């Protein structure tokens, strides 16, 4: 498909903007783009966008989309019968019939990371998925939406795990216990990985370790193939997350980072980035008392890779661009805010080879606006996901 007469916000490394350009897609990929006066080959399969602005499909790097429903029977995000559950894979809980998938598409959100909830010190495996399949079926299989699974392992510090288990009268009921449980499972995983490696190298000398589903699921983390996503709000909890990552040589991404703006040096030196937000929420618990609308702006200006998130359903996923606009109002540069919902989360989350910018070879995930994407009264005219163009998200 040839899409012509568009203003292209590539969000590539140079932040190139093509004022009057074209994009050619083939199947699920972008195969060409450039200026209209450089277009040499026309096709009958084309659409004239009459000067619309086009952005990469938006990415919400921390959600619980499809995991929490309207009733407890429909909600599967928190397995709070056991505080340590790295073996849980969130894709087994995602309901693709959740109405917010359609709302995400209509808002131009084409990729989300879906995470287990935050009641457990170790919550499970996170997945990066598309919000629609290339086939366009109304109720796709989750398997057909996956970009990367597991994309990370979810850890949680602070009030959520300690209050969950204090009600059950079992460990953990303090921040000390939360950290201790995390250390215990990571230490076991390191030893399990060593035993397994010894057996694989010298099977005649070493016994194969007994299979352990929890420890097996942590091997990609221990080997630094995937990062740890640490739910942490306060500066103290963020420092605990960084300390645990140092102790076990983990790649670490801070989720929420509410007080991160107060400790930028620590985060910049030790974390791969911050998934910041949600900005549109209330101070619903003590660890949010120092929440600042300027947090993402400050961390981004400091040079910390900072993505803007909704934490859906805390803030509905279809308000992602309103969150970005709110960050601009609080001092974030416009380009940084657009990058914070496109290429920055793609890079932080290890999926930038496919999504996050408009470049040859990337997935054909595009969002078309008549006006400015950061104008809160604007909505996308079209959303394209994996080469399938949908008017008004339908």
What pLDDT score does 394 carry? 47
Starting from the edge strand earliest in sequence, which strands make up the sheet with 366-369, in order?
29-35, 17-26, 2-9, 46-56, 366-369, 382-385, 388-391
DSSP state of 363: B
pLDDT at 45: 86
Q: Is residue 59's pLDDT more than 50?
A: yes
Mean per-residue pLDDT, 205-229: 98
Residue 393 has pLDDT above 60, yes or no: no
228-232, strands of its sheet edge to edge: 58-63, 109-114, 122-130, 146-156, 228-232, 252-256, 274-276, 306-308
Q: Give the global pTM.
A: 0.97
Q: Which domains does the chain have, with CATH numbers?
A: 1-55+357-394 (2.30.40.10), 58-355 (3.20.20.140)
Residue-wise pLDDT tens digits, 344-361: 999 999 999 999 999 999
* 244-260 pLDDT per residue, tens: 999 999 999 999 999 99
Burial class (CB in 10 A: 0-12, 13-18, 19+), 161: buried
What's residue 309's pLDDT?
98
pLDDT in tens, 127-155: 999 999 988 788 899 999 999 999 999 99
At residue 351, the pLDDT reads: 98
Write the pLDDT tens digit of every residue in 1-13. Answer: 999 999 999 999 9
**pLDDT exceeds 90 at position 44:** no
Between 73 and 295, residue with greater pLDDT: 295
For 352-389, how does the pLDDT look when each residue is reduced to its tens digit (9 = 90+)? 999 999 999 999 999 999 999 999 999 999 999 999 99
* The predicted structure's pLDDT at residue 151: 98
């Amino acid at each position: 498909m040839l899409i012509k007469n568009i203003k292209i916000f590539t969000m590539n490394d140079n932040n190139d903007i093509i004022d009057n350009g074209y994009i050619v897609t083939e199947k699920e990929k972008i195969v060409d783009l450039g200026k209209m006066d450089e277009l040499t080959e026309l096709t009958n399969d084309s659409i004239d966008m009459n000067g619309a602005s086009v952005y990469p499909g938006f990415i919400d790097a921390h959600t619980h989309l499809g995991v929490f429903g309207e009733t407890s029977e429909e909600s599967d995000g928190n397995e709070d019968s056991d505080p340590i559950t790295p073996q849980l894979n969130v894709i087994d809980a995602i309901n693709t019939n959740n109405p917010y998938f359609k709302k995400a598409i209509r808002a131009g959100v084409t990729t989300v990371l879906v995470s287990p909830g935050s009641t457990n010190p170790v919550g499970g495996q996170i997945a990066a998925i598309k919000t629609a399949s290339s086939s366009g079926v109304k109720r796709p299989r989750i398997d057909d939406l996956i970009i990367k699974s597991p994309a990370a392992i979810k850890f949680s510090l602070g009030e959520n795990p300690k209050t969950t288990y204090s009600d059950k009268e079992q460990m953990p009921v303090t921040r000390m216990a939360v950290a201790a449980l995390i250390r215990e499972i990571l230490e076991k995983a390191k030893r399990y990985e060593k035993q397994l490696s010894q057996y694989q190298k010298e099977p005649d000398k070493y016994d194969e370790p007994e299979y352990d589903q929890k420890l097996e699921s942590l091997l990609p983390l221990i080997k630094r193939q995937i990062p740890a996503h640490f739910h942490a709000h306060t500066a103290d909890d963020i420092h605990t997350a960084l300390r645990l990552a140092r102790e076990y040589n983990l790649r670490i991404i801070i989720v929420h980072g509410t007080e991160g703006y107060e400790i930028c040096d620590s985060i910049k030196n030790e974390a791969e980035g911050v998934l910041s937000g949600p900005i549109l929420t209330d101070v619903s618990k003590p660890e949010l008392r120092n929440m600042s609308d300027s947090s993402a702006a400050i961390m981004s200006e400091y040079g910390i890779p900072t993505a803007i998130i909704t934490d859906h359903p805390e803030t509905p996923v279809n308000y992602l661009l309103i969150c970005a606009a709110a960050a601009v109002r609080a001092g974030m540069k416009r380009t940084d805010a657009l990058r914070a919902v496109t290429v920055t989360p793609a890079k932080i989350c290890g999926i930038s080879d496919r999504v996050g910018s408009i470049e040859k070879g990337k997935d054909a995930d595009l969002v078309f606006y008549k006006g400015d994407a950061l104008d809160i009264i604007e909505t996308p005219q079209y959303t394209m996901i994996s080469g399938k163009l949908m008017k008004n998200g339908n």
